[in-house]
A and B are shown apart, each in its own frame.
Chain A
Amino acid sequence: MAVTELTHRPAATSRRPDPVRRAGRRRTAGDWSVLAIAVLIGLLIAVPFLMILVNSFKSPAEYSSSGPLSLPTQLYTDGLQAFWNRVDFPRKLWNSFLISGSVAVLAVAISMLNAFALGIGRVKGRTWIVVVILLANMLPQEVLLYPLYFMFKAVGLYDNVWSVIIIFTVIQSAFGTYLLASVYSTFPKELLEAASLDGASRLQILLRVVYPISRPTLSVLLIFFFIWTWNEFLIPLTFLVSNATQTVPVAITVLQGDRLMDVTTTSASALLGLIPTLVFFLLFQRTLTRGITAGAVK
């Protein structure tokens, strides 16, 4: 079960020493070269971030005179301010937060209901249902794009954040159902039986027994659903066309090539776009990396 996996992993990794080179003096030499390679890759990863950071605080004039490598001589924030005001950034942040938060909560709740029915309850043709749900998850999004476009236009949900919330709730809970159903199928039966002997209804069993015990797995799902939805691009770009409904990823791309976007404002827009996800990463880094090892490979 993914729940126990999460607590198992760190012990397993820290106990495991270098499996290959453990002989005498070569060990230090090997260790140094490993560290050197790791630092090199780390730099390759970090350099684009640093480039953006440095150049977001320069004036366009300074950028062209002293080039992209130099540190800014003064803290120029006009680019950041221009972009922030032009796209009404707080509004986009709120839209993204509202959409991703709603999808994460709704999709976790629905995944839990589905997985409880499929993994613990008795459902005829449950394999068949899981296969259909998974197929829907693998369906390329663009196949649904045009029909949904007309349907949302017809009911007035086009250019409304709820259109995107609904679509991603369906897509994310397909994956969540698949993952949680296999987790719940290994749920200790005696706990469920004890609860039902005590006269608990199915809903009470779900809320009082299954939910608290599987909370670590649910929170991993919640975090992944949030970040995946936050980063979605094609569907929000298609369905959220007005300034009032756009998300952060859409907002930072629509102005590219605009007259307003001088060199350092472009840099500033990239910086503003990456700060929210990077903050999110710093907060949930351990859960994210462990979540992949727990859920992805079965």
Chain B
Amino acid sequence: MSVQTSSATSRAAAAAPARPVRRGAPWTPYAFLAPYLLLFVVFVAVPAVFGLWISLHNWDYLIDNSPFVGLENYTRLFDRDSLAAGDFWQSMRATGIFTLYSVPPLVAIPLAVAVLLNRSFRGRTFFRAVFFAPYVLGIAVIGVLFGFILDPNIGLLNDYLGRLGIARNIPWTTSVPEAWISLVSVTVWWTLGFNAVIYLAGLQDIPRELYEAASVDGANSWQRFWHITLPGLRRVLVFVITITVLASANMFGQSYLITHGGPGSETRVAIMFIAEEGLGNFRMGSAAAMSYVLMFFLVVLATGMFAMFRRWED
């Protein structure tokens, strides 16, 4: 879309002869790339390979020379009897549950909000800003804020509900499914405005004439939404679903700060468990292996989604 709006400049560029600017040695572009490529190799490529190396060793601070153990850190994860395997797959399950519960509301609610904001009413710019505001807060602030509000004993929400006589002592963070409801609701509150603003941009690119023609043909608002808005938003929807699924699968701060992984380890998601294994128990080799297994699942998930959406877009 960003390209469309500058049609004037891009048309001018297309009209000009396609002669590339060619002054200076052919290697100059590489000189411009050099600083980044250097940083990239040292701080991304080398660590990625070094991480594999770590995962092949028993890298434990209790053991001096961190012996080579081959694929043991990986095979252990698929051994039903090992303790680490149980905890690891439990945390992968928690990540899966959160993704499953959080993606539908995170995709649907902002869409409804965007449709609302796309209508003309007084103060819509103001409301757009208000709805977007929580997105600028970091997960740390969100965690402390809602950890305080949702605390079952001293928290504000239970006190409020109690005073209204609705309910008392709802275990917002200490029982399932309440803990999942809390985590999903907090995430919706936090990122609603971000997805809504993306949808809004897509909505404004749908030609108004389509709606007018549909109204003349007697389509009601639901039919217009179903037959004009949704198809018009297809590419935007694909984008929003993709980034939302990946963000949810990478969730960490919410459960680390609000439910502390509890009750028990019900909401301890994969990243949180891997961090505990490596930085809490200092079993870095095992933690590195786990993070590669998690990455493998994320790559499979991402590729699967791209393949699915490609078929859908055709």
Contact = CB atoms under 8 A, between A and B. Distances in A.
A148 B278 CA distance: 13
Interface string A1-45: 111110010001100111111000000001100110110011011
Given A34-B116, A285-B132, A289-B197, A270 B36 contact: no
Interface in B1-43: 1-3, 5-6, 8-10, 12-13, 16, 18-24, 26, 28-30, 32-33, 35-36, 39-40, 43
Interface stretch (B74-82, B99-107, B153-161, B168-176): B153-161
A38 B116 contact: yes
A144 B44 contact: yes
B136 A192 contact: no
A147 interface: yes
B201 interface: yes
B133 to A, nearest CB: 6
A186 B13 contact: yes
Contacts, number: 316
The size class of the interface chain B forms with chain A is 35 or more
The size class of the interface chain A forms with chain B is 35 or more
B193 to A, nearest CB: 8
Contact of B44 (A118, A170, A182): A170
Given A110-B36, A186-B9, A274 B50 contact: no
A170 B46 CA distance: 13
B311 interface: no
A121 B21 CA distance: 8
Of B3, B20, B51, B148, the most chain A CB neighbours within 10 A belong to: B148
Given A146-B51, A293-B201, A297-B236, A196 B21 contact: yes
Contacts of B133: 45, 278, 281
Given A250-B140, A277-B136, A173 B36 contact: yes
Interface string B219-252: 0010010000000000110010000001000101
A244 interface: no
Contacts of A52: 145, 148
B204 A231 contact: no
A213 B261 CA distance: 49
A253 B143 CA distance: 8
Interface string A270-298: 10011001101100010011001111111
B54 interface: yes
Contacts of B144: 252-253, 256, 266, 269-270, 273
B291 interface: yes
B284 interface: yes
Interface string B283-300: 010011001101100100
Given A16-B204, A273-B141, A189 B21 contact: yes
8 contacts: A1-B6, A5-B1, A19-B208, A38-B117, A38-B127, A113-B33, A139-B295, A186-B6
What 5 A-B pairs are tightest by C-beta distance, nearest first? A231-B138, A249-B140, A121-B29, A293-B201, A147-B47
